[in-house]
Each structure stands twice: as structure tokens, then as C-alpha cells.
Structure 1
């Protein structure tokens, strides 16, 4: 099975930041097999607790389904810097490029996301700079990496 990541707009975008024109180098944020970006806790975990090759002494590292969870798929690193703030109008999203994100207003989501103190009634979407080509019959599922316990959010 061959999956291709083709840069949208020939791999470069001209973006303005405070009057300066920059070039977004997509090589810097090129998708990688997720198995190349294992979480530190898993990298340092021994396969056995105390006695190697003793039944019942295995750690999560010996778990085949967990191994597959952490090794199969691709990581698309975030290609732009974002700042999410709540202002008087309900939200403010700042990105290097205003074409790096979009939104689905509540009318597009069946009003499942209501305007509250916590939510602004819209779903934010990140505009991917890659065209992902998969074999016929395959599709893509975008989600946070499994067992990468992100502390920032």
C-alpha cells in the first residue's frame, strides 16, 4: 500500500507576518511514519518488569495491540503557529497564515456546539497543506496521536 503526501500549492506558500514575506518550508513539517515519533515513556519502558522472558512479567511494551497503535499511521506536524484566545466577540484565532485554519459555524454542525461561556458555537478546522493520496478504497482518519500525553492542552 502506498500513501503519498503531495504539497498543496507546489509545497510553498507566501505568507505575510507583520509586513515581512516568509516562505513556509513544508520540508520542515513533512509527514512522518508515527513509529518514528514514539513517546518517551514508551521508548524507555523495558519489555519486562524484573525477570526477562518470564510469563506475567511483561510490560505494556510487550503488548502487540499497543505496539500497533503506536507504530501504524502518519504524523502530520502542525505547519503553522496558532494562538487561541477568547475576546469580546467570543473568539480570536491568530495564525501565521489566515488560510491555515477555517471554521464550521454552528449552523453547519446542526447546532450541536452551542454558544456558551466555554464554546463559541463553531468548530475550528486546520487547513492541511498536504494532498493525501491513498489507494482506492482507503480513507484517512485524523486524530491526536495515541498515548502521547500532551501536557499543553
Structure 2
């Protein structure tokens, strides 16, 4: 069953803000535009299937919600700027800037390699709530190496923290990027996760298990679409 996520913003900001979107409805342009097969010089010119044939990758792109950048950002050699003037909201303690900064010392001891790269915070103007017992995993949009930043991951109990605003720390991973990052650019992917520790059991395959595993391997090698048709669970 789908997990219901409720996103709310202040009514004074509603006309200005890009809305969160289900990730499956906002797949990246490069996925649609990439070929389904490509020639591989390493394999003597043989045609190989591309990532467009990889349901696990595509399913990851479609998980949960994409949280959007609030306003256009202009990236120059001098830094990040914006032309965005949201109204002052006296009954809220909200930033009027779409991004903030983190000083490098806040990452002291973490292997984030900040040399020459900015540590920023994408400001979020949406509260998010989930059913009791669920949390939200906020992470860099999955498989989105095309973005010039890398958002850090965190988990927030948004059943209890439903009235708070979660902001998103990120590293500007492409110091050479210049140009406009448009409002609505996905800055994190919010994925509902049930709370509770995972349990692990390890073991070895018996004869029947080994035979079943071999049959799956053979089926996957026999042609495209086997996982999608035979093993992928029905999506809600």
C-alpha cells in the first residue's frame, strides 16, 4: 500500500513555491533521451543494452518524492546569487533566502573533501508528515550524477516532526559549474521508511536453492525484460 506523505506550506508562499512531486512523475530527461542499446568498442562493436533496460535503477529514480529548489540560482565565479523576494511572514521564523551556507568547520573530521568546494544548505519551505511509525529518508536524488551538487543523507521522524521544516545540507561537487540552476530542480529525494531495526539471517544454499538460483541466472541471461515481467513486485 502507498504511504501517504502530506506536504504543506504557508499560504503566503504557496503562489511562489515549486511543489514537491512524486519522483516517478519527474524522471530525468536523460533517461528518456538515452538509447536503449549502444555499440561497445571494448566488445568488438557488439550492441549492448543500456541502463534504460535496468528496472532497479529506474525504480530507484521513482521512489518517494522529489523536493524542489525554491528559486532560480545564478552560479558565477563570485558565488551563488538569486533574485527572489518572498514576502515577510511575521507569524513564522522562515528564511527569505533559498540557500544558506555551512562553514567548513562544521564538517571537521568528516571525509567530505571540501577543499575548494562550498558547503551549502538548501532551504525547504514545506512541512512533511507521514503516518505514525514511519520516517523519511532524505538523500541526494538517486542516480542523479548530472546535478552539480551532492546532498547529504539524513533520516527524520516526520510523523512526530510533522510541523517542522527539514533543510538539506549539500556539497557543491562541481566547482566549475557556471550558469542557472532553475527553481524546481530536485535537491533531495524523500523516501518513506518504516522505523525499526533490520534483522539479518545468513546461511548457505542447499541443492534446491542452488538449482533455483541457477534457473534465475539463466532466465536473466536469456533475454531482456525478465526481471520486470517475472520478479518485479506490482507497484502501488
Check conservation: 1:39, 1:148, Cα contact below 8 A.
Answer: no
Structure 2 residue 1 is the aligned partner of structure 1 residue 12: no
What SS does structure 1 have at the residue aligned with 2:143? coil
Aligned to 2:222: none
Q: CA deviation at 1:66?
A: 1.5
Return the match for 1:31 from 8, 13, 20. 20
Q: CA deviation at 1:111?
A: 6.6
Structure 2 residue 122 is the aligned partner of structure 1 residue 126: yes
After TM superposition, the score normalised by the length of structure 1 is 0.60
C-alpha change, 1:124 and 1:95, in structure 2 (3 Å) is farther
Aligned to 1:80: 71
Structure 2 residue ranges without an equivalent (≥5): 39-46, 86-95, 149-175, 178-236
Q: CA deviation at 1:80?
A: 0.9
Check conservation: 2:35, 2:50, Cα contact below 8 A.
Answer: yes
Question: Aligned-residue CA RMSD in angstroms?
Answer: 3.7
Aligned to 1:146: 143
What SS does structure 1 have at the residue aligned with 2:134? coil
Q: CA deviation at 1:31?
A: 0.9
After TM superposition, the score normalised by the length of structure 2 is 0.42
Aligned to 1:17: none
Q: CA deviation at 1:30?
A: 0.6
Check conservation: 1:106, 1:114, Cα contact below 8 A.
Answer: no
Deviations 1:104-133 (A, max 9, x none): 2123222767886x24xx621011111122
Q: CA deviation at 1:6?
A: 1.3
Residues 96-105 or 127-136, more deviating: 96-105
Q: CA deviation at 1:38?
A: 1.8
Structure 1 residue ranges without an equivalent (≥5): 14-22, 50-55
Deviations 1:40-81 (A, max 9, x none): 3433567688xxxxxx98653332211212221222232112
Check conservation: 2:73, 2:80, Cα contact below 8 A.
Answer: no
Aligned residues: 128
Return the match for 1:100 from 98, 101, 124. 98
